[in-house]
Structure formats: structure tokens, C-alpha cells
Amino acid sequence: MSRNSRYDILFEPVPIGPVTAPNRFYQTPHATGMGNARPNAGRALRAMKAEGGWGVVCTEYCSIHPSSDETPYAFLSLWDDADADQLAQTAAAIHAHGALVGIELWHGGYHSNNRGTREIALAPSAGSSKYFGPNQVRAMDLDDIAAFRRWHRDAALRARDAGFDIVYVYAGHDYLPFQFLSPLANQRRDAYGGSLENRARLLRELTEDTREAVGESCAVAVRLAIDELHGESGVSRDGDGRRVIEYLGELPDLWDIALGGFLGNDSCSSRFSAEGFQERFAAGIKDLTSKPVVSVGRFTSPDTMVAQIRRGVQDFIGAARPSIADPFLPRKIDQGREDEIRECIGCNICRAANNEASPLRCTQNPTIGEEWRRGWHPETIPPARDRRSFLVVGGGPAGLEASLALAGRGHRVTLAEAGAELGGRLLAESSLPGLAQWIRVRDYRAQRLAQMGNVEIYLDSELGAADLREFGADAVVLATGSRWRRDGQGATVRWPLAIDPDARVLTPDDLFAGQDPGGDVLIYDDEHYFMAGALAERLLRDGRRVRLFTPATMISAWTEMTDEQAFIQRRLLELGIDARFGRQLKRIDPGRIVSECVYTGAEQCDDFSSLLLVTGREPVDALFHDLDAAATRIGDCLVPSSIADAVYAGHRFAREFGEDPATLAPRRERVPLQPAIAEAGS
């Protein structure tokens, strides 16, 4: 297959100062959860992007000094030559596939907790750290600013010597250079505070320093938070953000336009944003500078990408999450296989990994983060040595992924789904407000399976144990999913509640099956992910009165990990939800609940018309227990979790089936032991 000519513009080379990108696909800096602790895994992940056709591949944030430390979160560093030697291997791995490699030099300022280094945190002005706790930050004096410029210059030189092509000056996401820019963070009264020219002085100096140090061989990029979304009191797109670019427009070789403050604004989930949602911030920047511009926007459609370039919004297609969901997105467009792109669904499970200080994971791409650890490739899978016949029961995320990967290995696969269409839990969850993009998990796999000659799919096929025995497959895989619990057991209440059988108690499954909850609805959330909040939104939009009780201190508390919680709570409060926090269910009577304060144990009673329990799920595994033959449970059928975990479980099963267990242990990053240091006083 050959490329569609209307996408040719995406594959034009673009000069960036002294270097030239081979195409317009630009993987902007993004976290991986690998950092210094997992250099092999990080290197393999980035190299896979280059192999997949990304013309520019950037690192995650790279600390320039021990006073910029975010332990326990993983980050890179360029504190010394040993760091540079390690990063040189990443640069070489990316170069091997013909891509440019960029590095994002970083100082967190008051975002740096320095728990690992125990250095004093620095910021433009004294005050509290961004982390809750007793630690404060010290206002930088002129000597500190001079030292900071020296640290940045030294790191740029190390980056150049390590083989990097693009060196970033990072004034985004509320980190130190941006803190100097923002009047909300900078209360200085010297040459670095007050007027915009003074507040932008450090950014200008850093950019000039970097150009002087490495500009002959490296491009210098400025990543600027064009708007911190605090109105005209802070940096705004039509205020100081625009004026900064007018002031410094020709100084860097590239402008990387981002949003400031809360990372959820820049990596906004699909629940609260559409593809290309940042265009309103990036539009018009090219009128202010002759230098190339890049911005992100969760781009997955090549037609949208082309439109961005032709309309002059930007020169590159910036991407973080789409490059995670499909590292081979550019290659597929180039080869005329755009219908095979694993489109990012914007669920932000990748952001959750970062916020949990864990390695990267993705709902659409189960191989991300496993490139080195398990040797997994997103586009190739080793053929099976002994080809078998499989019966996969259940067409949800785990069953679909297992079927696709098993068929990719050459096995014969029969997929039996009890319902009228494939998708399992995805059918219900993608029907919730803002979650329509989640059906892409089903669509990608169903489309691929339909093209495979060794796969048969049967719908409306509910199978019993006798059917499975009669079928005679070499192996049976049960991916029959899970159901929502009716006993109230959840994250806080670890035992079944006392529930009167006459109480009108519903679960999400009842609502998805079309049951009318009646008038007013009381939702009890002890699961804390998206479900309770999304159902509350649906009910509120239907005009119902909704009360939400939760043992947590906020609505949908775990969505802090996906950077969505503030958006969810704001939307539900605007829609009129009545939320009660710190309340744990104790008993459910007809038309009445008894709850207690999670702190004091004080009880209270509340009436309800319908009670919706969103507490936890249990496997649908009766078929497994009815069988007297061997079968394997995967995904929610084994243990309910996220869609990402279900997809991973299906993929891992297929990869590992029939393989020698001794060869399957994942590799671990091991730090060589150093000579012991004599104990103090010895």
C-alpha cells in the first residue's frame, strides 16, 4: 500500500535552526515513569517511537541540578558527565532510526520537593511549596539566578556532547522559568520582577545562554505555557503569553506551545476535550514569529493533522498520548494504513501512571513500557511454534485483545460473544457523558479481527459448560467480564452491608440495562473512579435530583490520578449535585440509609427513593467453575480492574501461551553495587 497523496505535507522535512526534522511528526516531551532508575526501558521506549516514524523524539523532563528533584516521581538528570553518558545511549538509539532527538532541561522551582536530594527548594519569591507539607521555598537572590543560568548552560553542553539535536528551555507547566513569568508567582521588585520585560528577563537570558553554548550544532526550543488559565491576573494567551512571543519571537529556533499550571489542562482527557482542543491557544502564534511552531491536541486523524498545517496553526504535529497509543502512527500513514492506527482514547491512564510514580501504561497499547522489560514490539509478535485452536468466550476488551494477539501468532481463534455486538463493558461505558472515544478500543480490534482468515466470530452465542466441552478447542479462554456488586462491598467497606431485601437498590448494570431509577437518586460511591461521577452527570442532565455520598473527601477521588478530578467535581457542582463527603454506609433499610462519619463514627439517617451502589465489581466466572476441563480466565473474569489492565491481560496471555516459563521472567534494571562508605565515627 502507498501513502495517500493528500498526506504528503506531513512528510516534508522541516528545518529547525541548524538541524532538519525528516517529517512533521513531533513527539513532544512526556513522562514515562522510567527516568534514571530505568534507563534501558526508557531508551527502548523512545527508540520504538523513532522506529515508528516520528521525525522528532524528545525525552521527559531532565533535571539540571539536585535542587530540582521530584522524588518519588521518575525523572532524568544531567547533573554530571555520568548522566550524560547514560543519556547518550538514548540519543544513539533514536538516531539509529533517523529521527532527531530532543531533551527538555528542567528545574521545578517550587514544584521540587527535593525529598531525594534534601536540597532547599528555590523559587522567584519565598512561600510555600506546591506540595502539601511544612516545607517552604527560598526566594532566589541574584547569585542564585547566576548559578541557575550556569547549571542550565552546563546541562545544555552535556546534552550536546551526548548527541542531542534539540535542547529545550522549559518555561511551561508552572516550572521555574514560568514561575518568573507569572505575576501570580513572581512578587519580586528587582530587575526580575514587575514589568513583563523584567519577568521575562530570565527566559531571555536562558535562551541566549543556550544559543551561545550549543546553538551552532543544536536547535534551541522554548516550551512556553501560553496561558495558565487564571485569566488576565496571570499569563494569558491574549495577554502576557502573546507579548512574551512578540518580545522573544526570533530568539529560539522553535516554539513549543503548551498550557500552564495544572497538567490536566495540557493533557486534558477526551471526557472534557475534543481532538485539536488546543488550537485556540496555538492559533496566531505563527503570525508573531518566523520560527516553526509545535503544539499538541491528542491528534489521531491524519486529515486533522493536515488541516493544522495547511491552515497555518503550526508546523509540526505535536503528540505525546497518540505516540504512546500507537508508536507507529506516522509509519502507518506513510504506508497507506491509516485505518490500522490505534487511536488514543484520551482516558489518561498514561497520566495516572505518572501520577502514581509508576512506569507508563496505555489502554490501547499494552506493549508500552514493555519494549525492553519483556521484549514486546507493538507491531510484531513472535509466531507460535505449535499452532493450536482457541475458543475465546467473551468479546470485551480482554477477549478482543487475546483473540487478536493469538491470531497474530498464527493460532486458529473462535471468538464467541453472548451479546448482539462486540465490546463487552465498553458498550456501556462509552455511552456515558464524554466517554464516546472509549469505543475505539473495540473498533480497532474488531476491524483487525474481521480481516484475519484464521478468526471466526459468533455473536448472540451464550455458551454453557457442555457447549465448551463439545466444541473441542485445544484451549479455552474465558473473558466473560464482571458485574457490579449489590452487597455494598467496596474500597472502604470491606464486608457486605446489611441490606433489607425490600430496599430499592440498583447498580450501574441495572441502569445500563435500561431500568428506570425513578425520581430522586442517591448514589453511594466507594469505587472512586469515573463510574459514579459519570452516572451522576447523566442523571443530572436527565433532570433528576442527585445526591452523592462517598467515604472520600471529593467526588471520583481516584481520578486525581488521571488529572480529571477537578473537572469532574466542577461540572457536577455546576449541574447541581448534592455531595456529602466522609460518609460510609452502615445499613440499608427500605427508603432509608444509615451512614457514619469515617472519622468520628457519628451516625445519620437519610431517606432515598432509589439507591445506586457504585462500590466494586465481581468476576462473572460461573462458567469457569462449571467446567471440569481446563480453561484460563483473563481480564475482569479473573480480577476486575481498568480497561487498560484487561487489554494487557489478554495480550500477555497470548504472548506467553506455549512459551517456556523460564524465558518469561521480565528483565529488571539493576544498579551496580558501589564500594561501601565507612560509617561515621568508625
pTM of the entire predicted model: 0.96
pLDDT at 264: 72
Active site residues: 175
Mean local confidence (pLDDT), 664-681: 81
pLDDT at 673: 81
Span of 17-26, 123-132, 173-182, 299-308 with lowest mean pLDDT:
123-132
Give dist(CA 118, CA 131) in Å, integer: 14
CA end-to-end distance (rounded Å), the chain: 72
Examine residue 682 and state whether it is found in any structural domain, yes or no. Answer: no
pLDDT digits (tens, 9 = 90+) for 488-508: 999 998 899 999 999 999 999
Mean local confidence (pLDDT), 153-159: 98
Residue 542: pLDDT over 60 = yes
Dihedrals phi, psi of 404, to nearest 5 degrees: -65, -45
pLDDT at 548: 98
pLDDT-based confidence at residue 186 (cuts at 50, 70, 90): very high
Mean local confidence (pLDDT), 190-198: 97
Examine residue 377 and state whether it is found in any structural domain, yes or no. Answer: no
Between the alpha carbon of residue 287 and those of residues 16, 232, 277, 279, the distances in Å are 17, 22, 20, 14
Q: Clarify whether residues 510 and 549 are in a common domain.
A: yes
Is residue 126 helix, strand or coil?
coil
Domain span including residue 433: 389-481+620-660
Give dist(CA 674, CA 90) in Å, integer: 24
Angle, helix 142-161 to helix 201-214, in steps of 10 degrees: 30
CATH number at residue 600: 3.50.50.60
pLDDT at 366: 98
CATH number at residue 471: 3.40.50.720
Strand partners, 456: 414
Strand partners, 633: 478
Mean local confidence (pLDDT), 191-207: 97
CA atoms within 13 A on the CB side of 544: 21
pLDDT at 680: 57
Give dist(CA 234, CA 199) in Å, integer: 12
Residue 666: pLDDT over 60 = yes
SS (H, E, C) 507-548: CHHHHHCCCCCCCCEEEEECCCCCHHHHHHHHHHHCCCCEEE
Name every residue whose Cβ is closer than 8 Å to that of residue 180 and which is 6 or more positions away in sequence: 124, 186, 192, 193, 199, 200, 201, 202, 203
Q: Clarify whether residues 135 and 263 are in a common domain.
A: yes
pLDDT at 249: 86
Task: Look at strands 617-619 and 632-633 and give their pairing.
Answer: unpaired
Span of 267-271, 360-364, 409-413, 625-629 with lowest mean pLDDT:
625-629
Overall domain count for the chain: 3
pLDDT at 247: 94
Residue pointed to by grid coordinates 485505518: 339
Q: Clarify whether residues 113 and 59 are in a common domain.
A: yes
The 8-class DSSP code of residue 241 comes to: I
Do the Cβ atoms of 255 and 224 come closer than 8 Å? yes
Dihedrals phi, psi of 150, to nearest 5 degrees: -70, -45
pLDDT at 681: 56
Residue 154: pLDDT over 90 = yes
Closest CA to 383 of 632, 51, 655: 655
Q: What are the grid coordinates assigned to 374, written together? A: 519483556
pLDDT at 476: 97
pLDDT digits (tens, 9 = 90+) for 307-356: 999 999 999 999 999 999 999 999 999 999 999 999 999 999 999 998 99
Examine residue 532 and state whether it is found in any structural domain, yes or no. Answer: yes
Q: Clarify whether residues 213 and 309 are in a common domain.
A: yes
Give dist(CA 74, CA 71) in Å, integer: 7
Q: Clarify whether residues 252 and 313 are in a common domain.
A: yes
Count of beta carbons in the 10 Å neighbourhood of residue 542: 10
Q: Clarify whether residues 279 and 202 are in a common domain.
A: yes
Strand partners, 319: 27
Q: Clarify whether residues 451 and 531 are in a common domain.
A: no
